[in-house]
Chains A and B, each alone.
Chain A
Amino acid sequence: MTGFVLRRLGAALLVLLALSAVVYALFYLAPGDPARLACGERCNPQQIAQVREQLGLNDSVPTQYLRFLQGVLAGRDYSGGAGLVLHCDAPCLGFSYQNDRQVTELLLERLPATFSLALGALVIWLVIGVGTGLLSAVRRGGLTERLLTVVTLAATGTPVFILGLLLLMAVCAYLRWLPFPTYVPFGDDPEQWAWNLLLPWVTLGFFESAKYARLTRSSTLETLAEDHIRTFRAYGVGERALVTRHAVRGAVAPVIALSAVDFGTMIGGAVLTESLFGIPGLGKTLIDGVRVVDLPVVVGVVLTIGTAVVIAGAVADLLYAVADRRVALA
């Protein structure tokens, strides 16, 4: 088991290193002058030259990448021009000249919003998605089953922003049950925080629920079709106990593992949902950064999201191995 954990973590670290190298290369070696892009459209030639100096763009590419890595791991100093020295603590993801802020600071500020969104969605899909899935597995051939077919079909055909748009249109524009959401930090007013996040939660949670209902149902039924279930049936174990004591075990591992992956991906930013509902999270930061071509921010967000996803993947594998010991032993 320990060997498995170490191997998996090692693999995750390797992936992160590869990702950072690729992202760095793509963004700082791409056609166009990175100094100009980093500085923004308003900069004059002197400012650009200064930025180029500060970013160390006159050095060789590997040197630049190593310095970047050093910044991430140990922090680094920037010359802010005119003898001024800016210190950037680890993990230093660079400096956004357009925002006049350190990228790490900027991202940390955006994290709570993203986390709020992902957490609510997680609760919804675990409760509604997994619940529906289990219910339909126990009562096969019932109404839940038919309903699930329709809902899943609709969910596979709908991009998440269409669902969000229609909800916004119905709930906020026509029925006026809720005002158009604006993000309120939890610390400011927990009640307003929840009300304003309700629609995004429902959108994202519902969208994911369909997936989880199917996953739960199919893995439960898959286990139910296995030989060992036949053994217990042949020994007089009732259908309900077969599902709850034996078959559900088969569904636990995949549901937990997939939840970890999805949650990680959302921590990385549910770009579409955030963008649609104007939630100032990581995803929205990325889109805003792309619109004004603020490269340090874009690189920072991509690396953060990549990290979240890779860690989530590793956590998922570990959880899976814990829930299903056969994997680690295989």
Chain B
Amino acid sequence: MTEPLVDAVDLVVDFPVGAPGEYLRAVDGLSFTLEPGRALALVGESGSGKSTVAAALLGLHRGTGARLGGTVRVGGTDVGSADAGELRRLRGGVAAMVFQDPLSSLDPYHAIGDQIAEVYRIHTTATRRAARARAVEVLDRVGIPDAARRARSRPHEFSGGMRQRALIAMALACEPRLLIADEPTTALDVTVQAQILDLLHGLREERGLGLLLVTHDVGVAAGSVDDLLVMRGGAAVERGPVDRVLSAPRAPYTRELLAAVPRLDGPRTPRPRPATDADEPVVEAFRLRREFGRGKRRVLAVGGPDRAEGVSLAVRRGETLGIVGESGSGKSTLGRMLVGLLEPGSGRIHHEGRETAGIAPGAQMVFQDPVSSLNPRRSVGESIADPLRAAGQRDEAAIRARVEELLTRVGLEPGHYDRYPHEFSGGQRQRVGIARALAPQPSLIVCDEPVSALDVTTQAQVTALLAELQRELGIALVFIAHDLAVVRQVSDRVAVMRGGLIVEEGPVDEVYDRPAHPYTRRLLDAVPALDPGLAARRRSARQEAFA
């Protein structure tokens, strides 16, 4: 039997926190092996310790004050006891790492080709010229068009997907036996994500590389690896072949996690009653356009190249309109215009049948970032009470009663009134944000990526809460997200945005099951499937389409 590529036994990593002598345990006695040429995914929610494991494999914790316990052997080298020279040979030569954020992970001052050449020369005796040639070769392999010329560009001249390709090229340069990819597609749009995952898959087949994929997204793992290791709180919860774990999870936590993952084919929450045209729209937009910047730097955010092209839509009482799109599609700008936080460049907005300008009465918003959406210096109760006070409410007892009622309604406790935002988790803060939006009894709430910063289990709870509140209060919801599966789960109708315009709009079932626009089809195809078989079929379909 050959020696495993990675062999971790009782791995423990402690980070120093605050006072000397105090440690936080990030990885707690993890053991696993990875055979050469196989692919393993470490899957877990934030704080599960999965990225720490990846860094530990390369000994990246040296010099940071972190304590390591147990043993890790990578390609036969004991990482814990290796000297500096052995460690340097290991890094890049045996195991190469692909990081999450491709922009900050490359040196902004040097040309991409030079950076790859530098790494190559560390592990070989190649001349400068040979190293450059090698850089062009690997850049070409990862699909950078016109690689010889693009090798001289610096990172900021590349798009996000191209940078991630360049990072993968750097990893390939020294012919490592193991690729460690730490959330390699998290910063990318879903269509680009599919391309990068396909690239990784192709490279693995071509060179027999081992792959350790670290991800929070079970879907990403499903189509890319042989085995799955589910982590929680620094320890393994379950490990097994990817089909088995996904189809018949044994650990309760895995079941919970998988149940929470929104799926394109999963059951939908039953919607109360479809809104009819007879209902008066709560909000109506006519040919909205919006640009940012002036002169040469003018960028069109919402609207088409033709000045008459704009976004028009209507949302009725009790109805949820989902808006999906990739970054830069203009979906957030549209959302802000709907509530009046941004003035439209042209076009009109009607609320409850009346044209409005500026902040719309009866419109509220739930924001993406649970950290910045609450004033850190005010108690959450005061934040929720703010709309009431601004509306002229003076009766302190009534305000407090109402806020406590709202807190209870969103699943928090009345006693939380005097707590501060930093005492809450991300999901709880998002609940506070929802309570604040509910306070003035709005007729419309625009949710801008309300769950994208949350872990999947929390995501599921928050979307369920939104749906429940809507059923009860009959509010019109606009749900903006990049995640197609989440949007499908909560919406009645969906609008697909691209380049500032809605390319397709219709009832959810229709758009998802019978997409009319090619872009919608492409988006749907790119969504990672939880079923490994389906993922493989889709991959070959994509390859055929591009061949």
Contact = CB atoms under 8 A, between A and B. Distances in A.
Question: Touching in the complex, A and B, CB below 8 A?
Answer: yes
Interface of A: 226-228, 230-238, 245-246, 249-250, 324-326, 329
A235 B96 contact: yes
B118 A245 contact: yes
A14 B122 CA distance: 51
Contacts of A324: 109
A228 B109 CA distance: 11
Contacts of A326: 108, 156
20 contacts: A227-B99, A227-B101, A228-B107, A231-B99, A231-B167, A231-B170, A232-B107, A232-B119, A233-B91, A234-B58, A235-B97, A235-B119, A235-B122, A235-B170, A236-B90, A236-B92, A236-B93, A236-B122, A237-B118, A324-B109
A250 B93 CA distance: 27
| Among A226, A236, A250, A325: residue with most chain B CB under 10 A | A236
A236 B88 contact: yes
Contacts of A227: 99, 101, 104-105
B152 interface: no
A228 B84 CA distance: 20
A159 B331 CA distance: 56
Nearest to A237: B122
Contacts of A250: 109
Contacts of B88: 236-238
Contacts of A228: 104-108
Interface in B105-141: 105-110, 115, 118-119, 122-123
| Among A226, A227, A228, A329: residue with most chain B CB under 10 A | A228
A234 B91 contact: yes
Given A231-B99, A246-B107, A236 B156 contact: no
A249 B109 contact: yes
Nearest to A3: B296
A324 B96 CA distance: 29
A250 B104 CA distance: 14
A233 B99 contact: no
B89 interface: yes
B109 A234 contact: no
A252 to B, nearest CB: 9
Interface in B162-195: 167, 170, 174
A37 to B, nearest CB: 48
A234 B118 contact: no
Contacts of A234: 58, 60, 91-92, 96-97, 99
B154 interface: yes
Nearest to A252: B109
A238 B110 CA distance: 17
Interface string B324-335: 000000000000
A25 to B, nearest CB: 33
Contacts of A245: 118
A232 B154 CA distance: 16
Interface residues of B, number: 31
A238 B170 CA distance: 17
Interface string B459-486: 0000000000000000000000000000
Contact of A329 (B110, B122, B156): B156
A325 B487 CA distance: 41
B93 A231 contact: no
Contacts of A237: 88, 118-119, 122
B83 to A, nearest CB: 12
Nearest to B182: A234
B90 A230 contact: no
Contacts of B97: 231, 234-235
Contacts of B156: 326, 329
A245 B96 CA distance: 20
Given A237-B122, A245-B118, A231 B106 contact: yes
Given A230-B99, A231-B99, A236 B91 contact: yes
Contacts of A233: 60, 91
B105 to A, nearest CB: 5
Contacts of B89: 236
| Among B93, B97, B123: residue with most chain A CB under 10 A | B97
A117 B99 CA distance: 50
A326 B106 CA distance: 14
| Among A234, A250, A324: residue with most chain B CB under 10 A | A234
A237 B87 CA distance: 10
Contacts of B115: 232
B105 A236 contact: no
Contacts of B90: 236
Contacts of A226: 104
A49 B503 CA distance: 82
B368 to A, nearest CB: 23
A238 B107 CA distance: 16
A171 B58 CA distance: 56
Given A234-B91, A235-B92, 7 more contacts: A228-B107, A231-B106, A231-B167, A232-B107, A232-B118, A236-B92, A246-B109
Q: Please list the 7 inter-chain residue pairs (A to B) with the smallest Cβ-Cβ separation, ordered nearest first.
A: A235-B92, A227-B104, A236-B91, A236-B88, A235-B119, A236-B92, A234-B97
A304 to B, nearest CB: 36
B118 to A, nearest CB: 7
A58 to B, nearest CB: 47
Contacts of B174: 235
A277 to B, nearest CB: 41
Contacts of A232: 107, 115, 118-119
Nearest to A249: B109
Nearest to B95: A234
Contacts of B107: 228, 231-232, 246, 249
Interface in B380-409: none
Contacts of B167: 231
A195 to B, nearest CB: 42
A231 B103 CA distance: 11
B211 to A, nearest CB: 16
Interface string B317-345: 00000000000000000000000000000
A21 B90 CA distance: 66
A149 to B, nearest CB: 20
A325 B91 contact: no
Contacts of B170: 231, 235
Nearest to A233: B60
B100 to A, nearest CB: 9
A177 B205 CA distance: 78
A235 B91 contact: yes
B99 A236 contact: no
A234 B51 CA distance: 14
Contacts of B60: 230, 233-234
A324 B110 CA distance: 11
A225 to B, nearest CB: 11
Contact of B105 (A230, A238, A325): A230
A29 B58 CA distance: 72
Contacts of B119: 232, 235-237
A238 B88 CA distance: 7
Contacts of B105: 227-228, 230-231
